[in-house]
């Protein structure tokens, strides 16, 4: 009887062990299925994230390209507007200069002819059209005929001293009315004695009658004799080339 009881207990333990093993196996299989399912879901989520990221990158790239295109278009329009504005301003400035010339020449035809001469002259000098026109107008206003040769002689002297042509034109005009102080800027000292005027330049003293034509002739001769090519030399500098381009 004792032996039968021991055998029964052994079989019971075996059945219990088998049942527990089956339960553990079932739990492991269930957990494994859950893990696999979770992994699959995670993998799908990662794929979705990757797809969304690619779509977002593509959208950003498209938006950037569109924005760059808009910026280029805007800059192009702004440049075109700026160019049109610059042309219009230049046209208005030239019209004002023509009006000045008409005042001193007396007619549209004479003003147009003078302006063409001034533009041609300006294209080979370091001086701007506006300043040459001012010099032309000042000379004409006091009865001095501003020929291209006179303007060139005055311009060469002005360029030699790093001045603008209208500065020397003003100094010449002043000398004809007895105001000689500005000539000192160009190394010329004047002395008036009654109806005579003396000019000292480079240590040489020249005396003449206080006659407008004589005074203009002498002061122009300085440019022709001592500073010929002064404008051409200044035109080769960066500042002179920039002025010609204007």
pLDDT tens-digit profile of 109-167? Answer: 999 999 999 999 999 899 999 999 999 999 999 999 999 999 999 999 999 999 999 99
The whole-angstrom separation of Cα 192 and Cα 210 is: 8
As given in the structure block, the two tokens for residue 16 are 């219990």
In this prediction, residue 59 carries a pLDDT of 74
Between residues 21 and 75, the one the model is more confident about: 75
pTM for this prediction: 0.62
**Residue 86's pLDDT band (boundaries 50, 70, 90)?**
low
Reply yes or no on whether the pLDDT at 184 is more than 80: yes
Between residues 154 and 29, the one the model is more confident about: 154
The whole-angstrom separation of Cα 93 and Cα 115 is: 12
The whole-angstrom separation of Cα 159 and Cα 239 is: 12
CB atoms within 10 A of CB 52: 10
Closest of 165, 126, 159, 151 to residue 220, by C-alpha: 151
Terminal Cα distance for the chain, rounded: 131
**Residue 97's pLDDT band (boundaries 50, 70, 90)?**
confident
Contacts of 135 (CB under 8 A, 6+ apart): 146, 151, 154, 165, 166, 169
The whole-angstrom separation of Cα 150 and Cα 205 is: 22
Lowest mean pLDDT across 19-23, 52-56, 124-128: 19-23
Reply yes or no on whether the pLDDT at 47 is more than 70: no
In this prediction, residue 223 carries a pLDDT of 95
Reply yes or no on whether the pLDDT at 72 is more than 50: yes
**Residue 51's pLDDT band (boundaries 50, 70, 90)?**
confident
Closest of 180, 178, 179, 183 to residue 210, by C-alpha: 178
How wide is the angle at C-alpha 142 spanned by C-alphas 186 and 105, nearest 5°?
120
Residue 200 φ/ψ, nearest 5 degrees:
-115, 120
Please answer whether residues 215 and 176 qualify as being in contact, where contact means their C-beta atoms are separated by less than 8 angstroms.
Answer: yes
Residue 205 φ/ψ, nearest 5 degrees:
-100, 130
In this prediction, residue 85 carries a pLDDT of 62
% pLDDT > 70, the chain: 67
In this prediction, residue 228 carries a pLDDT of 93
Name all contacts of 19-24 with Cβ < 8 Å and 24+ positions apart: none
The whole-angstrom separation of Cα 141 and Cα 126 is: 24
In this prediction, residue 31 carries a pLDDT of 58
Mean residue pLDDT of the chain comes to 81
Reply yes or no on whether the pLDDT at 30 is more than 60: no
In this prediction, residue 144 carries a pLDDT of 96
Between residues 192 and 18, the one the model is more confident about: 192
CB atoms within 10 A of CB 147: 13
Please answer whether residues 155 and 125 qualify as being in contact, where contact means their C-beta atoms are separated by less than 8 angstroms.
Answer: yes
């Amino acid at each position: 009887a004792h032996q039968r009881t021991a055998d029964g207990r052994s079989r019971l333990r075996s059945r219990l062990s088998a049942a527990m093993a089956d339960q553990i196996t079932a739990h492991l299989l269930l957990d494994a299925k859950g893990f696999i399912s979770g992994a699959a879901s995670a993998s799908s989520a990662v794929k979705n994230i990757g797809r969304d990221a690619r779509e977002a990158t593509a959208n950003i790239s498209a938006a950037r390209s569109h924005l760059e295109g808009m910026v280029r278009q805007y800059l192009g329009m702004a440049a075109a507007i700026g160019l049109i504005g610059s042309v219009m301003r230049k046209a208005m400035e030239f019209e004002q200069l023509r009006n000045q010339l008409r005042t001193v020449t007396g007619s549209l035809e004479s003003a147009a002819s003078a302006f063409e001469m001034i533009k041609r002259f300006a294209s080979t000098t370091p001086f701007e059209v506006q300043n040459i026109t001012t010099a032309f107008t000042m000379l004409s206003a006091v009865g001095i005929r501003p020929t291209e040769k006179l303007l060139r002689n005055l311009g060469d002297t002005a360029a030699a001293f790093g001045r603008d042509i209208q500065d020397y034109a003003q100094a010449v005009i002043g000398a004809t009315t007895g105001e000689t102080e500005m000539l000192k800027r160009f190394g010329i000292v004047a002395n008036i004695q009654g109806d005579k005027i003396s000019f000292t330049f480079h240590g040489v003293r020249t005396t003449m009658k206080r006659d407008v034509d004589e005074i203009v002739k002498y002061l122009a001769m300085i440019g022709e004799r001592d500073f010929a090519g002064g404008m051409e030399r200044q035109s080769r500098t960066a500042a002179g080339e920039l002025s010609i381009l204007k």
